[in-house]
């Protein structure tokens, strides 16, 4: 066989056996409700292109039902929180911003939202602890040799799992409270006089007082995110990895 035929044979062998489009192994760390629908659309596309996708799912879940998709593998891990408590938290959240927002003052709404955000953060942290501190689960994931973690940025822990496994991670983002991740980490222009804060039922056409209210929510979420949320998670990540971690920096680096 001459050299040209050898080259053609080798190229054909590479396309058949070593195609990155059919050999990728993806681990997904999801979130509930619309965030899951957003991530699921991305994962469906990966499956259609031949990637092997595994959804890492807690035993307590409301909306994430990867079992309905024959293209996904599912790795379930146990956690203490039951499905009823999880559903109750999200139902209270939806009720607050869908039905009660207009009945409350900005201060009342901010206090109520802060309470729910702390509850949500504690729930996700418990879910994260149940995963990364489960030695058998981590060993199973390491042995599976995944190549990348795809994570919803609002459901913290995906980047920690990727760090433990020693693989890169990619964020999928539906939206963040106060557009904090979009404007500080993604560099997305977000002037509060024109861009309404998510979950405030404000539109891009606001009165002067609505713009003032929107500005107050921007300031509130910035303060809460940087001074409370990140400090708790930075400490947890540092304890797991054994070195100082600043999660905010990981957000910034992930979009650069």
Question: Stretch 86-95: mean pLDDT, rounded?
Answer: 75
Higher pLDDT, 183 or 22: 183
- Inform me whether the pLDDT recorded for 255 exceeds 70: no
Classify residue 193: in a domain, yes or no: yes
The predicted structure's pLDDT at residue 8: 41
| Helix or strand holding residue 213 (H, E) | helix 208-224
Q: Is the pLDDT of residue 17 over 70?
A: no
pLDDT of 10 above 90: no
- Whether residue 200 is contained in a domain is answered as yes
Q: What is the tens place of the pLDDT at every residue in 144-199?
A: 999 999 988 778 888 899 999 999 988 887 777 777 777 766 677 778 888 888 76
Reference 246, options 255, 229, 123, 165; nearest CA is: 229
Q: Classify strands 25-29 and 169-172 as parallel, antiparallel or unpaired.
A: unpaired
Task: Yes or no: say if 174 and 35 are a contact pair by the CB < 8 Å rule.
Answer: yes
**Has residue 166 been placed in a domain?**
no
Q: How many CB atoms lie within 10 A of CB 130?
A: 19
Mean pLDDT comparison of 30-39, 79-88, 222-231, highest-scoring range: 30-39
The DSSP secondary-structure symbol of 55 reads E
CA distances from 4 to 11, 12, 17, 33, 40 (A): 11, 12, 20, 54, 44
Region of poorest pLDDT, from 164-178, 212-226, 242-256: 242-256
**pLDDT score recorded for residue 247:** 62
In which domain, by residue range, is 202 found? 177-256
* 43's tokens: 């994962």
Counting residues of the chain whose pLDDT is more than 90, the rounded percentage is 16
Residue 227 lies in a domain: yes
**Confidence grade of residue 19 (pLDDT, cut at 50, 70, 90):** very low
Number of domains in the chain: 1
pLDDT at 164: 92
Query: Does a structural domain hold residue 27?
Result: no
pLDDT tens digits for range 41-87? 888 888 888 899 999 988 877 767 655 656 888 888 888 877 777 77
The answer to whether residue 78 sits within a structural domain is no
* Candidate from 65-74, 102-111, 163-172, 216-225 with smallest mean pLDDT: 65-74
pLDDT of residue 13: 39
Does 218 fall in a domain? yes
Contacts of 99 (CB under 8 A, 6+ apart): none
CA dist., res. 71 & res. 45, Å (int): 10
pLDDT at 161: 93
What's the chain's average pLDDT?
Answer: 77
What proportion of the chain, given as a percentage, has pLDDT over 70? 77
Residue 145 in domain: no
């Amino acid at each position: 066989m001459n050299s040209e035929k050898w080259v053609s044979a080798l190229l054909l062998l590479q396309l058949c056996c070593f195609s990155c489009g059919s050999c990728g192994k993806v681990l997904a760390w999801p979130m509930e409700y619309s965030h899951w629908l957003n991530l699921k659309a991305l994962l469906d596309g990966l499956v259609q292109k031949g990637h092997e996708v595994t959804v890492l799912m807690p035993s307590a879940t409301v909306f994430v039902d990867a079992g309905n998709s024959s293209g996904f593998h599912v790795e379930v891990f146990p956690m203490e929180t039951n499905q009823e408590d999880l559903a109750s938290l999200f139902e209270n959240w939806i009720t607050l911003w869908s039905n009660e927002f207009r009945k409350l003052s900005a201060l009342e709404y901010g206090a109520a939202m802060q309470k729910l955000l702390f509850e949500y953060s504690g729930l996700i942290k418990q879910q994260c602890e149940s995963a990364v501190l489960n030695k058998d689960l981590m060993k199973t994931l390491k042995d599976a040799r995944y190549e990348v973690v795809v994570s919803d940025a609002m459901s913290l822990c995906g980047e920690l799992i990727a760090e433990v496994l020693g693989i890169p991670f990619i964020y999928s983002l539906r939206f963040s409270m106060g557009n904090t991740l979009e404007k500080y980490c993604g560099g997305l222009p977000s002037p509060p006089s024109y861009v309404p804060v998510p979950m405030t039922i404000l539109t891009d056409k606001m009165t002067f007082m609505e713009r003032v209210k929107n500005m107050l929510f921007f300031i509130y979420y910035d303060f809460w995110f940087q001074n409370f949320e990140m400090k708790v998670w930075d400490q947890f990540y540092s304890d797991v990895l054994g070195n100082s971690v600043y999660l905010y920096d990981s957000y910034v680096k992930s979009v650069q």
